[in-house]
Amino acid sequence: MQIERRAFLASAAAAGIARAARAASPMGQARGPVQANWPSLVDHYRYPDWFRDAKLGIWSHWGPQAVPEQGDWYGRFMYMQGHPMYEHHVRTYGHPSKFGMKDIHNLWKAERWDPEALMSRFVKAGAKYFMSLGCHHDNLDCYDSRYHAWNATRVGPKRDVVGIWAKAARAAGLKFGISNHVAHAWHWYQPAYGYDPVGPHKGERYDAFRLRKGDGAGQWWDGLDPQELYTGPHAVMPNGIDSVEAMNKWHDANNGQWVEHGPPGDTRFVTNWLLRQTDMIEKYRPDMVYFDDYGLPFGPVGLEAAADYYNRSIRWHGKIDVVLTAKQLKPHERFGVVQDVERGFTDRLWDEPWQTDTCIGDWFYNVARLNDRSYKTAEMVMQRLCDVVSKNGNLLLSVPQRGDGSIDSEEDKILDGMARWIAINSEAIYGSRPWHRYGEGPTVLTPGMQNEGNASAFKAQDIRFTTNKGALYAAMLAWPEGPVTIASLARGKWHGEVGEVTFLGGGPVRHHRDARGLHLTLPSKPIGGFVPVVRIDGRGL
């Protein structure tokens, strides 16, 4: 009962915040037929054809956390003694009481960033849409932000990163999206208000706790308020904790959970979130927005943002021609917003379009991936693409950049491998639709998020289907060493007729069909070859 009461109060507060944000916004929320409720979103939304046809997007999940080259969530873990990122930070930059995440932001210079050259690489690798990181949990807006002074035009590269990406993507003929992760910054950043529980700096509070705007006089951040960056002390570690274990336990219990409400007793953060989101939409007119949230951010406030986005699309295009994604949606909500499945799978063919997002390495650049050669290979990426597309989904793939904006030699090789595969097999992907079943094979995929690391390797018997312009396509997720049988096309099981079978990138394929399936003999695997695809023409496909 107490939990339900807190949820009700949080919902009521969020509704008040949404009204306050509308009143505070000099531009106001866009008015139109779409109202800020789920029935209205579902009633008005239609999945754009461009999204259903595109299938593959590339994501620049790039910001200041790429600078240390240590991987994900650096801005949180650098403030947690005993964590490898804390140790790296102290060794490389100094103690976080003196050199904090705000200073990492300023080291993000993007000096080797060539957006046009990277976009050309991404297009060649098969991208039909491009996603720019707009703002991560580290609370730095990577664009010319009207409502948040800690942004990339004033800090770090001193450039409108999102705006530059948008121009490059659209010049290359790609749809353009922006990801917004900042709803979680307020609880994510609370370790920055903590201290070392042991060691020579025991009890010495980190920079977020100590610094205010006036402390910036004569510093590089003169005129900026660290409290606006670190979001304020909403769950501050109390004095007297004297072990790393106790510190971690306290953080886990008090700010370690993934929550979807705003900071208790502080409406400013949520109000500011809505203003920043609306500002980003107005400035860059994205074709797609990615929310890193379970459901829409902050309940009614997220509904306000969704309605605003859809009504703006009607102004821009005469219809809703945009995509908004969120996670862990209720079944009915997936018809008003596109569901995103982060680093995970589905084990079935969905009625509605959806998206999975994953990365060839860590979300933020981690040099260990280069050193130990632990990136996803191009083969793994294309296996994933075929699996997702067969189930009515799209794949959004992150290719991590260093802090300077460049990608490394292994990532270059992966993009090259993707480009070679796409050049041969694109007709099985772009503009395709699912068949009446997604595929067949022995590998069992566990549905859900954040579980791709537990998946077994695909086998040649794992086959995925798509249809396009009257043809059926079958992708073997591993290259077969001998004849292949497609059981789904067995006589008596499927009543269509098979005519010609063609190996994409090759020629006709010897085949015969009986009660066990359609039997094929493919060419031997070439050097560097993976995920062979055949086109099946006939009747009743």
Q: Say how far apart CA 355 and CA 358 lie, in whole Å.
A: 10
**Do 97 and 221 fall into the same domain?**
yes
Q: Say how far apart CA 193 and CA 97 lie, in whole Å.
A: 9
Residue 183: per-residue pLDDT: 98
Residue 541: per-residue pLDDT: 87
**Do 140 and 287 fall into the same domain?**
yes
In a domain, 413, yes or no: no
The CATH number of residue 532's host domain is 2.60.40.1180
Q: Say how far apart CA 63 and CA 141 lie, in whole Å.
A: 9
Q: Say how far apart CA 256 and CA 287 lie, in whole Å.
A: 33
Q: What are phi and psi of 377, to 5 degrees?
A: -85, 165
Residue 181: per-residue pLDDT: 98
In a domain, 512, yes or no: yes
In a domain, 486, yes or no: yes
Residue finishing a domain among 342, 366, 381: 342
In a domain, 401, yes or no: no
Tokens of 429: 């992907």
Q: Say how far apart CA 376 and CA 452 lie, in whole Å.
A: 11
SS (H, E, C) 267-324: CHHHHHHHHHHHHHHHHHCCCEEEEEEECCCCCHHHHHHHHHHHHHHHHHHCCCCCEE
Residue 207: per-residue pLDDT: 98
Q: Which amino acid is at 50?
A: W
In a domain, 534, yes or no: yes
Alpha carbon separation from 392 to 332, 334, 340, 436, 461 (Å, rounded): 17, 13, 12, 11, 21
Q: 397, 358 in Cβ contact below 8 A?
A: yes
Residue 30: per-residue pLDDT: 82
Q: Say how far apart CA 396 and CA 409 lie, in whole Å.
A: 21
Largest CA distance in the chain: 81
The boundaries of the domain holding residue 501 are 439-539
**Do 31 and 169 fall into the same domain?**
yes
The CATH number of residue 264's host domain is 3.20.20.80
- The reported pTM is 0.94
Residue 224: per-residue pLDDT: 98
* Helices assigned H by DSSP within 189-234: 207-210, 226-230
**Do 35 and 158 fall into the same domain?**
yes
DSSP 48-77: -HHHHHH-EEEEE--SGGGTT-B-TTHHHH
Residue finishing a domain among 315, 342, 369: 342
In a domain, 156, yes or no: yes
Domain count, the chain: 2
Q: 398, 357 in Cβ contact below 8 A?
A: yes
* Helices assigned H by DSSP within 93-239: 101-107, 115-124, 161-171, 185-188, 207-210, 226-230
In a domain, 402, yes or no: no
Residue finishing a domain among 285, 308, 342: 342
What count of other Cβ atoms lies within 10 Å of the Cβ of residue 109? 16
Alpha carbon separation from 369 to 72, 110, 359, 372 (Å, rounded): 12, 20, 12, 6
Per-residue pLDDT of the chain (541 residues; tens, 9 = 90+): 233 323 333 443 444 444 433 433 334 778 999 999 999 999 999 999 999 999 999 999 999 999 999 999 999 999 999 999 999 999 999 999 999 999 999 999 999 999 999 999 999 999 999 999 999 999 999 999 999 999 999 999 999 999 999 999 999 999 999 999 999 999 999 999 999 999 999 999 999 999 999 999 999 999 999 999 999 999 999 999 999 999 999 999 999 989 999 999 899 999 999 999 999 999 999 999 999 999 999 999 999 999 999 999 999 999 999 999 999 999 999 999 999 999 999 999 999 999 999 999 999 999 999 999 999 999 999 999 999 999 999 999 999 999 999 999 999 999 999 999 999 999 999 999 999 999 999 999 999 999 998 899 999 999 999 999 999 999 999 999 999 999 999 999 999 999 999 999 999 999 999 999 999 999 999 999 999 999 999 998 8
In a domain, 302, yes or no: yes
Q: 147, 275 in Cβ contact below 8 A?
A: yes
